[in-house]
Amino acid sequence: MNKNSFPNGDRIAMMQTLVRIVDSGSLSAAAAQMQTSQPTVSRRLQVLEQLLGVKLIQRTTHSMKLTDDGERCYQHARKLIEQWQIMEDELRGVRDEPVGVLRVRAPHAFGQDQLIGPLGDYLQRYRQTSVEWTLNDHSPDFIPEGVDCAIHVGAVTDPSVVAVLLAEVPRIVVAAPSLLAGHDPLKQIGDLAQLPWLALNSFYRNEVTLTHRDSGEAYRFDIAPRLSTDSLYAVRKAALNGVGVAMLSSWVVKQDLEQGALIPLMPTWRAAPLPIYLLYPYASYYPARLRKFLELMKEVMPRITGANAPTT
């Protein structure tokens, strides 16, 4: 096989394929992320190995491992692809004009309710982009899953990602009138612990901490939830049905409060707001579609229903 018979564009595609195979963990995952077939990915890998004259990946029925040559090739390929992308963007004059597909992970409830408006603004501004909008309440493993960035609600515990604080979401303790009718009137903060509770276990499970609006005094008490779930909408629905007290983001119960379907409890005591972050992996170069998305999220997030500008 004549090494000079491979066009440079094909060589770049083959290196991109190698990087995607390694990052995603398998040929099938790489094919799905590249929107092609597994035989195509396998053929590109074979041609690259023939071109270089070395074995890059050792494959068995159940495992895949880079050879020493494969590891060196992978590291060089990542750098070459990054430099190639920078060169293409500069020569085409698109460093500040987003193009291509942006892959975003967002929480289920927030992503299908509050974020569709800002997402539409992004697509309206940048007509050469498209977005893959995946709803999942867990932060992604960015490179293996082929995700560019993620909207994340709550504390960030992964030190390997860039976390940009966009806004904060106030939370409020609420209950249905039907639930309160079966219990003694609430006179002091300690009375909350005597009510049945619902837990949104992504953010609180077995205890609740509230802070007094004026004095700053903190009060913590244990709960034994009647219902525990990771679904914001399930907790809201259970609260509306009088199953228990819930501590929910203010935006999700705004209409319920206005209609009297839910009632705020001990309004002078507040739960800590939930931070909203944009997460993305560290890199020396970020495409315009990601940079512009970050700029837009920082601009619009504090203005969406129920969100406030960061206090820190």
Q: Do domains 100-168+275-301 and 169-272 have the same CATH topology?
A: yes
Mean pLDDT of 110-125: 88
Average pLDDT over the chain, rounded to an integer: 86
Encode pLDDT of 15-54 as tens digits.
888 888 887 778 888 888 777 888 888 888 888 888 888 8
DSSP secondary structure letters along 158-175? -TTEEEEEEEEEEEEEEE
Rounded to an integer, the average pLDDT of 155-164 is 88
Percent of the chain with pLDDT strictly greater than 70: 92
Give the angle 258-263-265 at the CA atoms, nearest 5°: 135
Quick one: pLDDT at residue 4? 46
Residue 2 has pLDDT above 70, yes or no: no
Domain ranges of the chain: 11-92, 100-168+275-301, 169-272
* Residue 85 to residue 89: CA distance in whole angstroms: 6
Task: Indicate yes or no: pTM above 0.85.
Answer: no
Query: Sign of the C-alpha dihedral, residues 296, 170, 247, 174?
Result: negative
Q: In terms of C-beta density within 10 A (0-12 exposed, 13-18 middle, 19 or more buried), how is residue 124 classed? A: exposed
What is the CATH class of 100-168+275-301? alpha beta
Q: Which fold has domain 169-272?
A: D-Maltodextrin-Binding Protein; domain 2 (3.40.190)
| Distance in angstroms (rounded) separating the CA atoms of residues 130 and 110 | 20
Q: How does pLDDT run across 74-92, given as a tens digit for each residue?
A: 888 888 877 777 776 666 6
CATH class of the domain at 11-92: mainly alpha
* Whether pLDDT at 307 is above 80: no
